[in-house]
Amino acid sequence: MTDPAITRGTGNVFADLGLPDPGERQTKTRLALVINHIIKDRSLKQAEAALLLGVPQPKVSALVNYRLDGFSVEKLMDFIVALGRDVEIVVRPRRGDAEARVSVLEAV
């Protein structure tokens, strides 16, 4: 029996799957992850989160379930601010030969 070939991923599952706009999809997913952590940590019900975010409850349901097509990166950052967290954007030179990228880090 031969060992199956192992292919190293790009670090972006959306790119690895060949989906369109993989960088934007990954950024949105990471921002939604932060939002969902805040909602969970604060034990907010979807209706309560909707009031804080200024959107109808079905939009919160979509967000909680990572159905993100209806949200822009900017809107997701606005949600984080509405939930009482700061969003900081840092622009720096890329590292080595790596492709330039957008990353989202959650500071605890």
Alpha helix (H) ranges present in 45-102? 46-53, 57-64, 73-82
Is the residue at 23 inside a domain? Answer: yes
- What is the domain count for the chain? 1
For residue 68, is it within any domain?
A: yes
88: left (phi over 0), alpha (psi -120 to 50) or beta: beta
pLDDT at position 1 is: 63
Tokens of residue 37, six digits: 């952590």
CATH number of the domain that residue 70 is part of: 1.10.260.40
Among 64, 73, 71, CA closest to 33:
64
Q: Encoding tokens for residue 24?
A: 């934007």
8 assigned to some structural domain: no
Q: What is the pLDDT along the chain (108 residues), one digit of tens a residue?
A: 677 888 888 788 888 888 888 889 999 999 999 999 999 999 999 999 999 999 999 999 999 999 999 999 999 999 999 999 999 988 888 888 878 878 888 887
